[in-house]
Structures are given as C-alpha cells and as structure tokens.
Structure 1
Amino acid sequence: MRGTIDGFSYGVVTPLLGYVMACLGGALGLRCTTRSLLVTHSWRPAWLALGSTAIGSGIWTMHFIAMMGFSIDETPIRFDKPMTFASLGLAVVMVGVGIFIIGYRGATGTSLVTGGTITGLGVASMHYLGMAGMRFDGRFTYDITGVVASVVIAVVAATVALWAAGHVRGWRGSIGASLVMGLAVSGMHYTGMAGLTVHLHGTPGTATSGSPAAVLAPILIGPLALLLLAAVVVMFDPLMVKGAPLRVPEESKPGVPAADVPSHQRVRPPRRPLREPVHADAHGSRTPQRH
C-alpha cells in the first residue's frame, strides 16, 4: 500500500534553514579554497581539506535539516546512524577530491569538468545514501526522471562551485557564488524527493513516535561543530580579513595567468645589480669605467 508523505511538516522553516546551511558551507569552503591559493604548497592541503569539510558538512546538514520536515503519516521513521554518518563521510571525501583537483590543477578545462563531475556525483550519492539509511515499515521507490534530473543538477552545481572556488576573489563574490550553490543544492534535493514514492509493508496506522526532528537533532551536532570550526578559522585568519595585504605567489595560483594577479599583490624577483659602464680606449680595449 502506498504511504502518505509530507515533505514540509514545518512549513518553510526546514527548506529555508537548510538553504542557509548550504550557503554557509559553500561560502566557508570557497574562502578556504581561495586561501589555499595564497599560501605555499606545504600549507595548501590543510586549507583544501578544511574547505572540503565545510562544503561537505554544509550540503549534508542541508539534506538532513530538510528531512526534519519529512514524515510518513502511517509509520514512524528511524535512522540508521552508521549509514547516516557514512553519507557525511562520502560527501566530504567526494567534495575533497574535486577541491584538491582544482587546488592543484586549476579551475579550467578538463580539471574543472573532472572535479565537478566527481563532486556532483558525490553530492547525489550522499543524498541517496542518506535516504537509504531511513528505517520504517516499508520501502522507497524513485522515478528515474527525478533521479537523473537531480544528478544533473548536482553535477552542474558542483562544477559552478568549483569554478567559483578557482576564480572568485573577495567576500562579495564568494557570497554570491554560495547563494547560487545553496539554491542548486536545495533544488537537487527537492527534485529527487519529488519523484519519491513510499510503499508500506504492513497495515497502515498512525505514526505516534519517531519524529525525524527529534531523531536528527543530536546527529546534526557534529557537522554543525565542523562548520563552526571552519567559520572561526576563516574569521580569525589575518590574510582573510578584508583589507589585509596579501602576497600572492604567482606560481602558487594554478590556472590563473600572472596578468590576473593584482600588481600590488605580486611577488617580484630581486633586481639584478647594474653592470658597471664600459669605456673603450683608442686601441679598442674595453675596461670598466669606475667612478
């Protein structure tokens, strides 16, 4: 028997809050990626890893905040914690692969397409693995059109986000890119959910326990703490503060021509000492002229 589902049990609260969290994770991740391009190679992996964690946690948090508003009228819902946290790990790792590709290969051409595809597939996989971790007296089925559309949206959104990570500079650009990224991630989620059907195994009743909000609230503490950590690092890093002088090594900016680096931020090689003027005498001998 088909179950009755409600994806907006709390109205616009969960979609709006989920969108905000996706934007926050995106903004922090983009800033960390930008910061990684301003440091030596020894520090770059740490910043890229922090950016991956921020974006992955933001996307995962968006998904499960949205799922707080999801309910099935005839049966309570539980969550398999190992599989739920595995979906978080998958999101961070897959986003990390894309971020590291951009960090070391540049946000152009094949690198951008490869990184965006891997990251987008990771986001979509996180969504469906998280759904597979839900436990109730029944099963889910999906409309293939909705699944394909959600994957395409995830890949396009990831590619745009990675392009922004490699090219966008400054807070305004990062915020604008994160707003678009949050919209795309939310669109991917609800596109996939639109094709969802619930089939119940037993006799339908009325769900009296197992509220998703009550179950998910403790699970969300860890990812929220990771986002808070990323926010603290970004806010208190002196080179990320607006107006702080940034010395950008040209060789550490993959995919960005030297002409795109502002002149006041370039690292110039030391000047060579001037040669002593040479004086030729009447016989053609050339000797340095000293003052």
Structure 2
Amino acid sequence: MLRIDHFSHGWLTPVIAYLMSFTGSLLGLRCVARARAGNGHAGWLIAAAVAIGGTGIWVMHFIAMLGFSIHGASIRYDVPITLLSAVIAMVVVWIGLWVAQQRALEPLALYIGGAITGVGVGAMHYSGMYAMKSDALIGYDGLIVSLSIVIAVIAATAALWFALHVRGTIATIGAALVMGVAVCGMHYTGMFAMHVQNGQHLHAPAGAGAAQLLTPLTVGVGMVTMMLLLHIGITDVDDPAYDGARGARPARYWPTRD
C-alpha cells in the first residue's frame, strides 16, 4: 500500500530547511537595508531577491523534499522544471520588492506586491512539485492548495513589510525568524494537500534522483548564501531613511521612487 512520508529522515530535513529559510531571509533583509541606504540600489534589490527567493524559499523547499518519500513508489525529478522553479522564486520576489516601493501605487503598493509574490511563491512550489515524477498517481486537495496560496500571500506581504520597515540587528533577526516559519508553513501545508494512488499501468519515471539532483543544488546555493552573509554581515548599516541621529528624513527613501 502506498504511503506518503514527509519526514523520512526525521527532524533533520525540516530543521535544516528552516535554517536555510531563516538564513536566506536574513541575508535578503540586509541587502534591502543596503538598498535603502541608496548605494547600488538596483543591485542590492537583485541580491535580496536571490537570497530570499533562491535560498529562503527555493532551497528550503527542496531540502524539505529530500525528506519526502512515497513508500512503494519511486520518485525522480525533471531537471529543467526544477531549475525553472528556482527562477520563478527569485523573479517574483524581485517583482514584489519593486512593486511594494512604488510611490504611485500607494497605499496599495505593499498589498499588490504581496499578492504578486505570494501567488508566485505558490507557482514555484507547485511547479517544483510538477517536476517530481513518480510511478504513483499524484493528486491534490483543492481546498488545502487554496489555503497554501493564502498563506503564501500573507507571508509574502509580511516579508515585504519587514523588508521596507525593519531596521536594527535584533529586529532583523526576529523578522527573519518569522519569515522562516511562514515559508515552511506554506510548504508543508501545500505538501499535506497531496494524496497518492497506486498507478499500476505507469512506467518507472525518468529523471534525476533526489540525492543526485537536489543535494548538489541545495548545498551549492547554500554555500554561496553563507559566504554572502559572512561578507555582508548582520551589523547595522547607515540607513539615511531612518537616521534619527541626524534629525531629519531625507528627500528620497527608495532612490528609484522619484
């Protein structure tokens, strides 16, 4: 009988997945802080999208998938679709960050950006699941899928708010901890929407095995993230948008908004 196991390696994969989500979120928030400071604004936003979308969301997803198994069925991954899901994650985070700071869209800019990013994160998750091929018949509970998208939109909106407003090392770490919980919550809600049936007439799937594909990808991206985090650090940056010691807010909060 087929049985889904989301934690085939115990707590190892969910704990590492959460740590990577927290790390990516922390790095992304520090990159946004540097964008707020006005130096290399566009480049720092791209770096933030790669950190949050690539590590905080995509790497988290596929580390968690290393602990996923279907007893009595084999699992393989379509490499191009798996890589496409990473691109989706990074692009939608960049779009959300860009939209959320558009003065022309205020006061709805944050919510529009959050909706776009949240739906995009859902698209990343389910494209990643579509990349998973099995000789079992896989289906999804539509209600739980919808719930996972709602969670993704709420989480994305909260993440954008943190990115726009949080300052200070302690507050940034706290925000990253919350973002990690939200991303993991969306992932496992979406995973619990899955159900499987015996596919007696299906052939063994083609593609790369989980360890063969996901391990080098997630380790590689994770190492890059850790090096960037060490390079950037988590110390406070001089953010002129919030420089109370100077007694005044500058004319421009995000350089591209004028």
Q: TM-score, normalised by structure 2?
A: 0.87
Separation of aligned partners in 2, 1:113 and 1:268? 25
Contact 1:78 1:215 in 2 (8 A): no
Alignment partner for residue 235 of structure 2, among 235, 241, 244? 241
Asked if 1:111 corresponds to 2:93, the answer is no
Partner of 1:30: 29
Bigger helix share: 2
Corresponding position of 2:216: 218
Q: Deviations over 1:63-111 (max 9, x none)?
A: 0011001011112211111000100000000001011223454996311
Pair 1:44 & 2:38 matched: no
32, 54, 58: which one pairs with 2:51? 54
CA distance in 2: counterparts of 1:71 and 1:130, whole angstroms: 15
* Rounded Cα–Cα distance in structure 1 between residues aligned with 2:147 and 2:123: 13
Question: Map of 1:83-162 to 2, 5 A cutoff?
Answer: 83-105=81-103, 109-162=107-160
Is residue 14 from structure 1 mapped to residue 18 from structure 2 by the alignment? Answer: no
State the 1:31 CA deviation: 1.2
User: Does residue 53 of structure 2 align to residue 71 of structure 1?
Assistant: no
Instruction: Tell me by how many angstroms 1:223 deviates.
Output: 2.3
Relative distance call for 1:178 and 1:268 in structure 2 (3 A) is closer
Runs of 4+ aligned residues of structure 1 deviating over 6 Å after TM superposition are none
Aligned counterparts of 1:267 and 1:193: Cα–Cα separation in 2:
45
Structure 1: which 5+ residue stretches go unaligned?
A: 205-209, 254-259, 270-291
Q: In structure 2, do the counterparts of structure 1 residues 50 and 89 end up closer, same or farther at CA, with 3 Å as the change threshold?
A: same
- Compare CA radii of gyration and give the structure with the larger one: 1
The offset of 1:214, in angstroms, is 4.5
2:254 matched residue in structure 1? none
Query: Which residue does 2:3 correspond to in 1?
Result: 4
Instruction: Give CA-to-partner distance per residue, 1:202-228, whole Å, 9 cap, x none.
Output: 279xxxxx8634542122234224423
Once the two structures are TM-superposed, the CA of residue 171 in structure 1 deviates from its matched residue by 1.1
Q: What's the offset of the Cα at 1:34? A: 1.4
Q: CA deviation at 1:241?
A: 3.5
Distance apart, 1:19 and its partner CA:
0.8
Distance 1:123 1:247, change over 3 A: closer
Distance 2:46 2:250 in 1: 29
1:76–1:211 contact (8 Å) kept in structure 2: no
* Superposition TM-score, scaled by structure 1 size: 0.77
> Is the 2:92–2:121 Cα contact (8 Å) retained in structure 1?
yes
CA change 1:80–1:263 in 2 (3 A) is: same
Report the number of matched residues: 249
**Letter paired with 1:39:** G
Distance 1:247 1:83, change over 3 A: closer
Q: Does 1:201 align with 2:195?
A: no
CA contact 1:50–1:230 (8 Å) conserved in 2 = no
- 2:215 and 2:140 mapped to 1: Cα distance? 26
Query: Does the 8 Å contact 1:37/1:103 carry over to 2?
Result: no
Q: Distance in 1 between matches of 2:91 and 2:170?
A: 27
| Structure 1 counterpart SS, 2:108 | helix
- Structure 2 residue 244 is the aligned partner of structure 1 residue 262: yes
* SS of equivalent residue, structure 1 residue 94: helix
Structure 2 unaligned segments of length 5 or more: list them: 203-207, 252-258
Q: How does 1:162-173 map to 2 (within 5 A)?
A: 162-173=160-171
AA partner of residue 7 (structure 1) = H
Instruction: State whether residues 87 and 126 of structure 1, in contact with CA within 8 Å, keep that contact through their aligned partners in structure 2.
Output: yes
Q: More displaced, 210-219 or 64-73?
A: 210-219
1:82 pairs with 2:80: yes
Structure 1 pair 131–28 and aligned structure 2 pair: CA distance change class (3 A) = same
Contact map agreement 1:69 1:213 (CA 8 A) in 2 = no
